[in-house]
């Protein structure tokens, strides 16, 4: 199977139960993992994706109960677009969103394709669009009793960023990650640059919306905290580290994330970009419950000795 361009997306929500209900029970994503932010262990970190949890399908949520609501603006990681099998799937999801009082913009024509834009309960901006390449049968979506498999969410189709200087971001992504400029188009009086690569999972794309009129986004509840781009393996990650050092971008150093290795850097419009290895050793813990509280907390080995402290710190 093709490698992804987008490894995963991580967002900020306020409430673990609302998050679990929305992404697992309403959107039908597989609930992969209940864990904590390895850098701030008093913060829950929930992972969703397909049945395999493979890169290109992962969507994770940090719980920040007391954070302020985000203030919309530019220089922001703005919207995750998920792939569904067909245009008929959009009709299914529109009806489901209406039945569950999910804010949406109905089905629209955008960039010559059909999209269904919507938001989660905290204002995270999301969308659905039909699969760009391949066949839905090649993928492994979570099977849910009330979501037919022919309409299930498959993984991440694309991601939209809003930036002041799109050319600067585009140049950095092309030079460092080897992306190509696929096209540009105008939407709501803003020029949009589309980046991609050949033979990537779902035909994933990165859209850069140039917006020089708005203030800079203030991050909070409803924001995307970071987007992770894919590195094929450890060698690719070390090559990326060298390019970041040569470019003199701010970055984190390489971090061991138990399932994969990664680094973080700030690109020219100050977006937080993670680069994570596609090679993972992730195995989904076996749980047979839909009760969030009954799902055990996973901790990597280096945090296991602090389990009691961590579990007490995340109790509600």
Task: Read off the pLDDT of each residue in 66-93 and give the average, rounded to a whole number.
Answer: 97
For the chain, what is the domain count? 1
Please state the rounded mean pLDDT for residues 3-23: 97
Of 306 and 112, more confident = 306
How high is the mean pLDDT of the chain? 95
Distance CA 18, CA 117 (A): 20
1 inside domain: no
Please report the pLDDT score of residue 286 as a whole number. Answer: 77
Domain interval for residue 61: 6-313
**What pLDDT does 158 receive?**
98
Per-residue pLDDT, averaged over 220-231, amounts to: 98
Domain CATH code at residue 151: 3.10.180.10
Measured in degrees and rounded to the nearest 5, phi and psi for residue 135 equal -125, 145
Query: Across the beta sheet with 205-210, what order do the strands follow?
Result: 104-110, 113-119, 125-130, 76-84, 155-163, 205-210, 190-196, 180-187
For position 288, what pLDDT does the model report? 65
pLDDT(175) > 70: yes
In a domain, 256, yes or no: yes
User: How much is the average pLDDT of 121-141?
Assistant: 95
Conformational region of residue 225, where left means phi above 0, alpha means psi within -120 to 50, and beta covers everything else: alpha
Confidence of residue 111 (pLDDT cuts 50, 70, 90): confident
Residue pair 254/234 in contact by the 8 Å Cβ criterion = no
Compute the distance between CA of residue 297 and CA of residue 307 in angstroms, rounded to an integer.
9
Question: Scanning the structure block, which residue is given the tokens 């839909």?
Answer: 290
The Cα 95–Cα 117 span in angstroms is: 13
pLDDT tens digits, one per residue of 240-288: 999 999 999 999 999 998 889 999 999 999 999 999 999 887 777 777 6
Q: Does residue 77 form part of some domain?
A: yes
Asked whether the predicted pLDDT for residue 108 surpasses 80, the reply is: yes
Query: Which residue has 């309409």 as its token pair?
Result: 151
pTM score over 0.85 = yes
């Amino acid at each position: 199977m093709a490698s992804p361009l987008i490894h995963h997306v991580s967002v900020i929500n306020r409430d673990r139960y609302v998050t679990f209900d929305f992404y697992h029970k309403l959107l039908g994503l597989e609930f992969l993992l209940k864990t904590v932010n390895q850098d701030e262990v008093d913060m829950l970190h929930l992972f969703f994706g397909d049945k395999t949890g493979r890169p290109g399908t992962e969507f994770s949520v940090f719980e920040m109960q007391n954070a302020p609501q985000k203030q919309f603006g530019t220089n922001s990681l703005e919207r995750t677009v998920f792939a569904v099998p067909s245009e008929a799937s959009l009709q299914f999801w529109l009806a489901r969103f209406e039945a569950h009082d999910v804010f949406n913009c109905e089905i629209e024509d955008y960039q010559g394709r059909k999209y269904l834009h919507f938001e989660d309960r905290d204002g995270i901006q999301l969308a659905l669009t039909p699969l760009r390449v391949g066949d839905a049968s090649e993928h492994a979506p979570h099977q849910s009793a009330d979501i037919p498999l022919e309409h299930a969410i498959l993984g991440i189709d694309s991601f939209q960023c809003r930036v002041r200087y799109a050319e600067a971001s585009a140049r950095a992504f092309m030079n460092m990650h080897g992306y190509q400029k696929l096209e540009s188009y105008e939407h709501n009086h803003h020029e949009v640059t589309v980046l991609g690569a050949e033979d990537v999972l779902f035909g994933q794309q990165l859209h850069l919306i140039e917006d020089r009129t708005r203030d800079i986004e203030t991050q909070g509840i409803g924001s995307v905290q970071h987007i992770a781009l894919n590195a094929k393996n450890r060698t690719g990650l070390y090559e990326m580290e060298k390019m970041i050092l040569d470019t003199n971008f701010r970055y984190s150093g390489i971090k061991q994330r138990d399932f994969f290795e990664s680094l973080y850097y700030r690109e020219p419009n100050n977006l937080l970009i993670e680069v994570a290895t596609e090679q993972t050793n992730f195995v989904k813990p076996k749980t047979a419950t839909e009760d969030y509280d009954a799902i055990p907390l996973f901790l990597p080995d280096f945090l296991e000795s602090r389990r009691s402290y961590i579990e007490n710190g995340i109790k509600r």
